[in-house]
Amino acid sequence: MNETALSTIENNSLALDSKVLENLESYDDFLSYYIQIDQTSSAFSWLKADLLFKMTQKLGDNSVRKLAEDIKQPVSTIVNYTRTAMAFPPEKREEGASFSIHFQASFADSLDEKSKEFDGDKRFDWLEKAVDNNMSTRKLAEEIQLQKSGVPEIQDAESEKMFQEAQSAVMEIKKHVDNLYKDVRRNNDKDAYFEIIKIHQSLNV
């Protein structure tokens, strides 16, 4: 863990040491210091995850609910920490990836709640891909869900643009059909009704 940032937090305070802040002059100074703090934050997340995982191993799953009540946190928050620790043991963690990226990558595999075992090793490939492509947590989550739903992975920017345009076109058609349907309901418009039938036939619905 990087202790540089930790050592500059004032005692009994949520503020950084004012002397340290005064010594930050250039953009690179602030950037470097922010990265140190970010790394420290990620390290703390792993410490909590490992602690909570060990607690569930020794005291059982009921300890999670008790702890959540005592620290006034949602049970799901505690479960997310333990899931990530289970998914990525220390030797499988990527220093260049945030705790959140590891958490999202864990959903590439399903977790059996009884056996506490994952059904595959896809999460490790997704973590590597996320690091190599500098993916955000949102982008990673979207791509994993697309793969799970059977939608082919988008390989390049042009394909992604075409995919987005196709989605927009489908939404426009849906809006048109919805408006026609409302006309039918409101005015008993037979022409609008037959227009809806034609659209459905053309879309092979």
Q: What is the pLDDT of residue 3?
A: 46
Q: What is the mean pLDDT of residues 104-122?
A: 93
- pLDDT-based confidence at 193, cuts 50/70/90? low
Comparing 177 with 112, the larger pLDDT belongs to: 112
Q: What is the pLDDT of residue 106?
A: 97
- pLDDT-based confidence at 146, cuts 50/70/90? confident
* Residue with the two structure tokens 């809806």: 196
- pLDDT-based confidence at 196, cuts 50/70/90? low
| Alpha helices in 72-149, H assignment, sequence order | 75-87, 99-105, 122-132, 137-148
pLDDT tens-digit series, residues 121-142:
999 999 999 999 999 999 999 9
Angle at 121 between CA 95 and CA 47, to 5 degrees: 35
The percentage of the chain sitting over the pLDDT mark of 90, rounded to a whole number, equals 47
Distant-in-sequence, close-in-space partners of 44: CB < 8 Å, separation ≥ 6 = 1
User: Alpha-carbon dihedral of residues 59, 64, 69, 74, nearest 10 degrees?
Assistant: 170
CA distance linking residue 1 with residue 176, whole number of Å = 57
- pLDDT-based confidence at 37, cuts 50/70/90? confident
User: Alpha-carbon dihedral of residues 61, 62, 68, 74, nearest 10 degrees?
Assistant: 70
pLDDT tens-digit series, residues 52-101:
999 999 999 899 999 999 999 999 999 999 999 999 999 999 988 999 99
**What is the average pLDDT value for the chain, to the nearest integer?**
81
Q: What is the pLDDT of residue 89?
A: 96
User: Could you state, in order of their start, the residue ranges of all structural domains in the chain?
Assistant: 1-87, 90-153, 154-205
Q: What is the pLDDT of residue 199?
A: 61
